[in-house]
Amino acid sequence: MITAASFRVGDRVTVHSGQSGPQAIATVERFTHDKRCMVLSDGTEWRADGRRQWGFRGSFYKGPVVEPIAEGDEDHVSKRRGIGALRKFADGLTMDSPLSGEALRRILDAVDREKAAVGGESATNT
């Protein structure tokens, strides 16, 4: 069990959600309320033990948690954000998009090179 003593100002931490794993990387900036609350570099406030738990209308909700950064967390968060950015970019593409056909071809070529590097199919063959 992680205790308030587990975190110190300057520690790098990972915000985890139960369903999707590591979501964000931050740094502990300061403690408030007699060291019962910690503030992260992204501006969020957490209980000093890294938990965000509360009751609502008789129900108990256990929200995301803050844990010390672990190996692989940064890669997971980076990949998650990259996928989100690519999905958002692709979702907005239409024939009226300001990108030229040549620019889109360069993007597809880069995707093809990356997929080939890991042994995947060509983007133009899907």
Q: Are 12 and 45 part of one and the same domain?
A: yes
* Alpha-carbon radius of gyration of the chain: 20
**45-102 pLDDT, tens digit each:** 888 888 765 556 666 666 788 999 999 999 999 999 999 999 998 898 899 989 999 9
Q: Residue 62 has what pLDDT?
A: 66
Q: Which tokens go with 27?
A: 């740094």
Torsion of CA 104, 75, 3, 48, to 10 degrees: -30
Distance of CA 99 to the CA centre of its chain: 28
Write out the residue range of the structural domain in which residue 64 sits.
4-70
Percent of the chain with pLDDT over 70: 82
Instruction: Quote the number of domains for the chain.
Output: 2
The model carries a pTM of 0.69
Q: Residue 64 has what pLDDT?
A: 84
Q: Where are the beta strands (DSSP E) in 1-126?
A: 12-17, 21-32, 37-40, 45-47, 51-56, 59-68
In the predicted model, is pLDDT for residue 122 greater than 80?
Answer: no
Residue 111 lies in a domain: yes
